Chain A
């Protein structure tokens, strides 16, 4: 089966600019996640969708970050305006789980964002 697709793979922007990342999960996976991985740290969950509804966005800096998952398939994550500290790898993952707790998350290759 095809894996989780993400684009772009790399992005360099100046601070205060905006940027958007795209994710296409594994077909049929109801749950989609966006993580932020800062260099030297583990991935940190930003937002979790189940179908097209938000399950958890408690760690999403809502003053500058937004995400949507229209039609319960693809998702976009946007940052506007970007700050230097947003430099990180943004990972998308998907899972077939619907809250049973028995699941594996499948990760995409990530988008490496550099804010200058």
Chain B
């Protein structure tokens, strides 16, 4: 069965700290991977996506993620977080049938 695991449920950081959020997936076919973000009071929006090619994907606002096929992982990183990065982050795996399966989310709080 397809599934997505996000290991960190709640992460608290100070500004300028580095961030890495874990995401592991289980999927039998060609995989498309996504990170979505939900800022307080806002819609879910796409942060970055991986379909094929370079496994290091760069997204908006300085975020990046690395697809490691052997580890079934797609961890999200940012070298230096800002207070405005406070949000909930969701990893998702998608099939060619356009179906998304989301992880449980990681709540990130960044303190000035």
Contact = CB atoms under 8 A, between A and B. Distances in A.
Contacts of B51: 101-102
A91 interface: yes
Contacts of A31: 98
From B43, B49, B97, B99, name the one whose CB has the most chain A CB atoms within 10 angstroms: B43
Interface in B3-61: 4, 30, 32, 36, 42-46, 49, 51
Interface in A3-42: 3-4, 31, 33, 40-42
Dominant SS at the A interface? loop
Contacts of B46: 104-105
Contact of A48 (B4, B30, B49, B99): B99
Given A101-B32, A104-B46, A108-B43, A42 B90 contact: yes
Contacts, number: 60
Interface string A66-94: 00000000000000000000000001010
From B32, B94, B95, name the one whose CB has the most chain A CB atoms within 10 angstroms: B94
Contacts of B98: 31, 48, 55, 95, 97, 99, 101, 103
